[in-house]
Amino acid sequence: MDALTPTQIQTLQKQLNALAQELDAALAETLAGIQPVDLDEPIGRLSRMDAMQQQSMAAANRRNLEIRQQQVKAALNAIGIGEYGWCRRCEEEIAFSRLEVRPESPLCIACQRNLEKTRR
């Protein structure tokens, strides 16, 4: 596998910058959904349970967005120091085709698969 070309890195950096902006906007939108459910609000028990479930789902979604945002920032930092495109586990190059789909990926596809197998 060949190392990423400067043009490929530039393309991926643009994607990462756009993704960072999208994630910032999405995180701002999730703030309202994670506010605690007001237990004194005069609504029915089922409506309150539904509101609590929605709040829980919004909080989980926000955590996933925050993780992805951290990965994007780490990838942009790696570009800045010349370490972008290398797997954090095996230290092999990450394929451009993988980075096109998920430019913030810290792992090559083989290491990602192994990680997912151990999580099951």
Q: How many domains does the chain have?
A: 1
Would 95 be classed as within a structural domain? yes
Would 111 be classed as within a structural domain? yes
Range of the structural domain that residue 102 is part of: 6-119
Range 67-77 average pLDDT: 97
Q: Tell me, what CATH number does 108's domain have?
A: 1.20.120.910
Would 100 be classed as within a structural domain? yes
CA separation, residue 28 to residues 16, 66, 102, 120 (Å): 18, 11, 22, 32
pLDDT given at position 56: 82
CA pseudo-torsion sign 67, 74, 5, 7: positive
pLDDT given at position 91: 93
Q: How far apart are the first and last CA of the chain?
A: 30
- Least confident segment among 13-17, 21-25, 49-53, 61-65: 49-53
Would 20 be classed as within a structural domain? yes
- Indicate the pTM of the whole model: 0.79
Would 1 be classed as within a structural domain? no
